[in-house]
Amino acid sequence: MGATIKAITRTEGTAPFAFSESALAECRTIIARYPEGRGKSALLPILHIAQAENDGWLSVDAMDAVAQLLGLRHIEVYEVASFYSMFNLHPVGRHVLEVCQTTPCMLRGSDDIVAHVEKRLGIHAGETTKDGLFTLKTVECLGSCGTAPMLQCGAKYHEDLTPAKVDALIETLRNEPTRNNYTDR
């Protein structure tokens, strides 16, 4: 968030970034939604696409490619990418588990779910497992408070969680070779 500073730094050994042809086509459709000269409006949706095409996070290279595509200065992209919590500015695991920890979820036991995932994966919130399979994030209210506790993985909501359900989900994901992204790619 705005008040929490997220630094923009180059990560060593990062692969170069280029949009795929299909992504470029999707970006062009998005840009066409806005009036002439308002292409910057496409920045958030296009950052989502870039993140999906870059293993779930935004490298400096990926952000620079977005800036070039939209004709923006680099800083205009960095300041936006660092503001929004869904943009990861560092590499993440293949499956990002985002557990809601906000009050209505807390009333229904989200603290226990966070603790269970931490124990089960041997990491703290904000960390990635050594094998690169899982990242655990704690997030704020996801609009699923009636089916709390809950977590989101990619676009999918997993609701009414119990420790047993979390274990089953982790086992399923362990065998899923591809990332669940927010976008369809």
Partner 1 sequence: MGRKLLLEHVGKPGIQGLEGYRANGGYRSVEKALRTLTPEAVLEEVKKSGLRGRGGAGFPTGMKWSFMAKPPGVPRYLVVNADESEPGTFKDRYLMERIPHLLVEGMITASFALGANVSYIYIRGEYFYIHRILERAIGEARAAGWLGKNILGSGFDHEIHVQIGAGAYICGEETALLESLEGKRGNPRIKPPFPAVKGLYDCPTVVNNVETIAAVVPIINDGGEEYAKIGVGKSTGTKLISAGGNIKRPGVYEIELGLPCEEFLNSDEWCGGVEGRALKAVVPGGSSVPIVPAELFFKTAKFEPRLMTYESLADGGFQTGTMLGSGGFYAYNDAQCIVRSTWNHTRFYHHESCGQCSPCREGTGWMEKVLHRLEHGHGRMDDIDLLWDIQKRIEGNTICPLGDAAAWPVASAIRHFRDEFEFHATHPTKVKDPKHFEKEPFVRKPKPVEA
* Contact positions vs ligand FES (CB under 6 A): 100, 102, 104-105, 141-145, 148, 150
Q: Does 101 bind partner 1 (CB under 8 A)?
A: yes
In this chain, which stretch among 6-14, 15-23, 142-150, 161-169 interacts with partner 1, using CB under 8 A? Answer: 142-150
Number of residues that bind partner 1 (CB under 8 A): 48
Ordered DSSP codes for 119-175: HHHT--TT-B-TTSSEEEEEE---S-GGG-S-EEETTEEE-S--HHHHHHHHHHHHT
Cis peptide leading into 177, omega within 30 of 0?
no
Give me the least distance between CB of 12 and partner 1, in Å please: 26
Q: Does 25 bind partner 1 (CB under 8 A)?
A: no
By a kind-dependent CB cut-off of 5 to 8 A, residue 150 interacts, out of partner 1, ligand FES, none, with ligand FES
Q: Closest CB to partner 1 among 33 and 174?
A: 33
Buried b (16+ CB within 10 A) or exposed e, 1-26: eeeeebeeeeeeeeeebebeeebeeb
Amino acid letter, 7: A
By a kind-dependent CB cut-off of 5 to 8 A, residue 123 interacts, out of ligand FES, partner 1, none, with none
Amino acid letter, 143: G
Structural contact between residues 138 and 106, judged by C-beta atoms closer than 8 angstroms = no
Q: Does 44 bind partner 1 (CB under 8 A)?
A: yes
Please choose, from the candidates 89, 113, 88, the residue with its C-alpha nearest in 3D space to the C-alpha of residue 99. Answer: 113
Residues that bind partner 1 (CB under 8 A): 1-4, 33, 35, 38, 40-45, 47-48, 70, 79-80, 83-87, 101-104, 106-108, 111, 139-148, 152, 155-157, 182-184
